Amino acid sequence: MRFYEYIRQQRELLGLSQRDMAETVSVDVPMYSRYERGLRQVKESQIAKIASKLNLDYSELRKIWLADKVFCVISTEKDACQILDIVVENINQTIL
């Protein structure tokens, strides 16, 4: 699930409005609506506020946000899966 879909789903489960969320992250409602439609990216500095308002774990929400950023960068590449394999290999080499 994409980040924007996840925060929309969680907001709706809690019965919060987009206005509630917009106030939480200090943006206007149209901007927050763009976040939930995937038209704009949430800033990293806003993740903690969103996590708190939605009663979510910050670290887990940040992982979803980072995964979505990676997706946005490589999703249009025809070799996206191979690119991800290379990234995983590089990460594994760095850890060892």
pLDDT at residue number 10 = 99
Domain 3-95 matching CATH 1.10.260.40: the answer reads yes
- What secondary structure does DSSP assign to 63-76, as a single string? HHHHHHHHHHHHTT
- Checking if the pLDDT of 96 tops 80, the result is no
pLDDT at 87: 94
HSE-up (13 A, CA, CB side) for residue 75: 7
Model confidence pLDDT, tens digit, residues 38-87: 999 999 999 999 999 999 999 999 999 999 999 999 999 999 999 999 99
Domain residue limits, the chain = 3-95
Total Cβ atoms within 10 A of residue 36: 20
**Residue 56 pLDDT:** 99
